[in-house]
Structure 1
């Protein structure tokens, strides 16, 4: 395999972007490792005071999550959601955000977001780490990003995720977020925001396993839970499509009948997480490594699909709204692929 080396002379700004991107790409592993070491180290090697504090904190994590689902009701500390470090990460690709319709801050929203890609990088930046562009385009609408509930059971890691505006995709957490009042005078809206928009990567781990450059394969046909949640809470569904998301990483070939895919399916059933083997670039080469490729990601936010609120969603109505979501996503893809994809002529959308 011929290695394509990066040039030795690179502007300082790009070097900084590479370092920041390496940090955030490894963040989940870093958080899990640090959390484990802090807990284990405190309980094994700490004195009585340290052990007591750790046990108290672990009890707090359990009780707090059970009571509040670890949700941060407002935007949280803005310094953790928009700062120069996060902007370097955004500009590495770069990641962009495109508005196609208004999202009035008089209701709450579920952003049905596709595709997942390897890490969900585009939407993670726009609605989690670097929300300045979102706040500019959608004033008074709080951006939140849904992730696996088990992440909020991990001590210390959960605190970082909460600072970035992440919320659990558990039923309880979503109901808590999407049932919030939109009244400007309500105590929860003292920060000037009156609406919550929760982004859900509907395809999840299954869709991540199908992520390869140029391939837009969505896992959606049998995913209707987000529609039921929208109907139960009266939240509008907003289709969102991130062009280029699948292009920043490749992964080791894993066709459906392969041994690797069967292993991935097995682990996913046990843990909810698929063990991917991503293929990217390195610090000094463009051929292999764990860094994502510098490829543009454009998240296009579609028009909201309003629903009729009901505590007991009718299956036929769920199917109707679900069909509208699929139709809206196909329309977004056809309308914007020529503008935001380099090889748009060969790009096709497959909905599983």
Structure 2
């Protein structure tokens, strides 16, 4: 077991990038469990006053979710999201291929999921400066698991980061918002919502290995139906390099590990991945992502005709357009942004 240690003399800026990345990585991996653990400790060891505060907090969570599905209006906590060292660690880039007029709402169909969806998360949640400069007046959001927004502490951090629930009700709430500049919801100057949905989800994450762009899409049509019901355009998005920042323990479809992951995913919505990355002081062991470039390419919007009850044939038609758009984007940009592009293929399953 040969460990490749990081050199002692590393520029301070790179050290800081590694520390910030370590913070976010460990936070993403441990936050759901640590949030539940914190609640359990406070309930068990806390005095009556602490328990009363928790009870009030639970009621607030319940009422807030009933009111607007836990969505924080606006762009979240921009101060916290302005940390650029996390972006610069990889680095993460954003490539615009078409305009997104701020007179409508959008579903950003983002692929691949990777282990954490890092590229999309940085561009549309943690550090949205590049997004706002390229798509002015379009408010970016990322949709994640619904039960996260019913979990104390976790839901507040995700809200501060500008994330929203991926539930049908939450998406419909956001994508049905007015695009009128004079509407009260648009007093911040933003007249459009662009909600990124990592369509492949936990299933696609299990197929994430360096150099393998395996997308879970053929049977995923819910986002198309939502777009049609709300009249939102679908914008295909490909993050080149997303699958390269982590590897994971081998889990072929017929392996015991994959069967275990499928069982856990069925009951929790989360696939228990075993990521393989680097460490803070070494380059080949740990769960930190590798320093590898991620380029999120945002495609052209696919317009749909609004209908409350989408026709299956029309859903299939739009779904096919999304698949063809992704294939075209991959072929057009892989030589420029994908390492070992000649050996890299796109598989849609």
Equivalent residue number for residue 129 of structure 2: 132
Distance 1:308 1:187 in 2: 26
* SS of equivalent residue, structure 2 residue 17: helix
Unpaired runs of 5+ residues, structure 2, are none
Distance 2:338 2:237 in 1: 16
Distance 1:319 1:202 in 2: 16
Structure-1-length-normalised TM-score: 0.97
Length, aligned pairs only: 349
- Are 2:220 and 1:207 aligned? no
- Out of 154-163 and 62-71, give the one that drifted further: 62-71
Stretches of 4+ aligned residues off by more than 6 angstroms: none
Distance 1:103 1:31 in 2: 33
Decide which of 89, 95, 102 is 2:99's aligned counterpart.
102
Distance 1:215 1:94 in 2: 20
Q: Is the contact made by 2:211 and 2:339 (CA closer than 8 Å) also made in structure 1?
A: no
Q: Is the contact made by 2:77 and 2:162 (CA closer than 8 Å) also made in structure 1?
A: no
Equivalent residue number for residue 232 of structure 1: 229
- Are 2:38 and 1:41 aligned? no
Equivalent residue number for residue 253 of structure 1: 250
Distance 2:283 2:176 in 1: 46
- Are 2:186 and 1:189 aligned? yes
Distance 1:253 1:176 in 2: 39
RMSD of the TM alignment (CA)? 1.0
Deviations 1:5-37 (CA, angstroms, capped at 9, x unpaired):
221110001011111111100113443344234
- Are 2:79 and 1:79 aligned? yes
Structure-2-length-normalised TM-score: 0.98
Deviations 1:158-210 (CA, angstroms, capped at 9, x unpaired):
01100111000000000000000000011110000000000000000000000
Unpaired runs of 5+ residues, structure 1, are none
* SS of equivalent residue, structure 1 residue 173: helix
* SS of equivalent residue, structure 2 residue 84: helix
> How do 1:1-352 and structure 2 match up within 5 A?
1-82=1-82, 86-352=83-349
* SS of equivalent residue, structure 2 residue 41: helix
